[in-house]
Amino acid sequence: MRRRAVLAPLATAALALTAALLPAGPASAAPADKATVLSGWTQTSAASSNAFHAARADQGAWTAYGFDWSTNYCTASPDNPFGFPFANACVRHDFGYGNYKAAGSFDANKSRLDDAFYADLKRVCATYSGVKKTSCDATAWTYYQAVDKLG
């Protein structure tokens, strides 16, 4: 009986962690709190980015969390500089900035949000090769430096 009492909390914790790491589903199916969901959608991984964009496509399912989905894309910078499609990276970056500011925890998360933005930009650039990739990488670095220093 003692063994079961010890294993039950571990199993519950493992399920909660698994649920938080799975791709986003509707809010009714998500057992995590708002901060956990927000964190899951603002990591540097491609899985985090994909989960965010899937949730963004189905925003209505997440209304219970009260997220701010507004965006101005890449602000005053081109959304698709030199033809590189950076708009989705800017959307996720705006989401992180807006929601962490609203939660009062922006300063503690800014560096990770900027790193996730840069990771998204580098994934865009990874689809190119040669001189075009070099140009994309340089543009991504410039965008990252702008948010890192000015964001």
pLDDT band at 83 (very low <50, low <70, confident <90, very high): very high
How is residue 82 written in tokens?
Answer: 């030199």
Q: What is the CATH number of the domain that holds 42?
A: 1.20.90.10
What is the per-residue DSSP string for 76-145?
TS-SSGGG---HHHHHHHHHHHHHHHHHT-HHHHHHHHHHHHHHHHHHHHTT--HHHHHHHHHHHHHHHH
Is residue 93 part of the annotated active site? The answer reads yes
Quick check: helix, strand or coil at residue 147? helix
Secondary structure of 14-40 in the HEC alphabet? HHHHHHHHCCCCCHHHCCCCHHHHHHH
Own/partner contacts of 35-38, CB < 8 Å, gap of 24 or more, are: 35/103, 35/105, 37/62, 37/65, 38/67, 38/96, 38/99, 38/100, 38/103
The catalytically annotated residue of 93, 100, 113, 118 is 93
Domain span at residue 43 reads 2-150
Domain count, the chain: 1
pLDDT tens digits, 90-121: 999 999 999 999 999 999 999 999 999 999 99
Per-residue pLDDT of 115-143, as tens digits, reads 999 999 999 999 999 999 999 999 999 99
Q: Are 67 and 95 in contact (CB under 8 A)?
A: yes
For position 30, what pLDDT does the model report?
A: 46
pTM above 0.85, yes or no: no
